């Protein structure tokens, strides 16, 4: 069985991709960071997840913003790893 590969161009600053197993995107609107992958977690209730992350010691480093496909925010966990949570709602 072949994987279905696709990409979608959302304008000059963002392109999304999907290969049937993995989804992601590339953007040019954010500053270059250290070379670590950004793990992005899906949630249906973004505000509730953000509140829980804050209560458990996580720190929001990029407030909720709109992007092609939904909204998301970035946070660091107590160990300093940056992650993101997104929703399409």
| pLDDT tier for residue 52 given thresholds of 50, 70 and 90 | very high
Q: Quote the Cα angle for 36-48-56, to 5°.
A: 60
Count of beta carbons in the 10 Å neighbourhood of residue 17: 13
Q: Is residue 32 scored above 80 in pLDDT?
A: no
- Locate the DSSP E strands across the chain: 6-9, 14-18, 23-27, 39-42, 59-67, 70-76, 82-87
Query: Which domains are present in the chain?
Result: 1-30 (no CATH), 37-89 (3.10.180.10)
Task: Report H helices in 9-80.
Answer: 46-55
User: pTM, whole model, 2 decimals?
Assistant: 0.64
- State residue 55 phi and psi, 5-degree precision: -70, -20
The residue that leads in pLDDT, 38 or 73, is 73
Residues 55-67, mean pLDDT to the nearest whole number: 93
């Amino acid at each position: 069985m072949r994987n279905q590969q696709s990409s979608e161009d959302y304008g000059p600053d963002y392109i999304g991709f999907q290969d049937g197993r993995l989804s992601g995107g590339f953007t040019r609107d954010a500053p270059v960071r250290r070379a670590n992958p950004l793990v992005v977690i899906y949630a249906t209730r973004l505000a509730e997840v953000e509140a829980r992350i804050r209560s458990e010691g996580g720190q929001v480093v990029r407030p909720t913003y709109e992007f092609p496909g939904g909204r998301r925010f970035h946070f660091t966990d107590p160990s300093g790893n940056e992650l993101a949570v997104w929703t399409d709602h």
